[in-house]
Homo-oligomer: A and B are copies of this chain.
Amino acid sequence: MKNKKFSQIDASVPTIRRLPSYLNVIRRALNNNLKVISGTVIASELELEPIQVRKDLAVTGIVGKPRVGYDVKELKNAIESFLNWDKQHKAIVVGTGNLGTALIGYPGFKQNGMNIVCAFDSSVDKIGKQILGVEVYGLKDLKDKLKNEKIDIAILTVPSEVAQQVTELLIETGVKSIWNFTNEKLKVPEDVLVLREDLSSSYAVLSVCQ
């Protein structure tokens, strides 16, 4: 069952996933006032093959100079633009427990265009309070809150047992992209994109390979 949603772009998902680490290297180069950087240098910093880096960067439309490399500033802009990280994205966090709180407190998101505009929880202990400047609302206020404000991403960090029912509520309110940190496989309509962040699958790799 091929997921069409992830294949609308002329770049493979592995390529998209590597771009942020290139951006890290490039931003650092920019801080060090480097004017140009070659794919070879990026590759060696990240222990990748130069060919792969060049091919990945090509999807952003960047054009480099043989024997020189890419203009650092231009390359940074090309990647950020390709990733849409030069535009603002509105996000909400649903479930402000341990993990939800950690994600709200992470400054790396804002740096790449993601603004957590507010959060939702079902616990009376949390509703009405703020977490690092982010207001927490009751889940039943969701529809009302999102009526006038279009949300780009819902970050789902509720207990796995309620994940599906909360998801259905999110979809009712028009959410089209869900970043799912729960262990639940979410059932959603065709036009809703779910990205699963599955820590247990990473732990599996560690357990098997050690």
List residues of chain A with CB under 8 Å of any chain B CB: 1, 5-6, 8-9, 11, 13, 16-21, 24, 45-49, 82-85, 89, 98-99, 101-102, 105-106, 108-109, 112-114, 152-153, 176-177, 179, 183, 185, 193, 195, 197-210
A183 to B25, CA, bound (A): 11
**A45 CB → nearest B CB, Å:** 7
**A64 CB → nearest B CB, Å:** 21
A197 to B85, CA, bound (A): 20
A185 adjacent to B98 (CB under 8 Å)? no
Contact of A17 with B201 at beta-carbon distance under 8 Å, contacts A84-B207, A177-B206 already known: yes
Copies of the chain in the assembly: 2
A24 to B164, CA, bound (A): 15
B193 adjacent to A209 (CB under 8 Å)? yes
Of all chain B residues, the one with the shortest Cβ separation from A105 is: B98
Chain B residue contacts of A176, Cβ below 8 A: 210
Q: Which one, B84, B197, B208, contacts A9 given CB within 8 A?
A: B208
B204 adjacent to A17 (CB under 8 Å)? yes
A1 to B5, CA, bound (A): 30
**A118 CB → nearest B CB, Å:** 18
Q: List 29 A-B contacts (CB under 8 A).
A: A1-B47, A1-B48, A1-B49, A17-B204, A18-B201, A19-B201, A20-B198, A20-B200, A20-B201, A20-B203, A20-B204, A45-B185, A83-B204, A84-B208, A84-B210, A85-B204, A89-B207, A99-B106, A101-B102, A102-B102, A106-B199, A112-B203, A112-B207, A153-B206, A177-B206, A179-B203, A193-B206, A195-B205, A197-B202
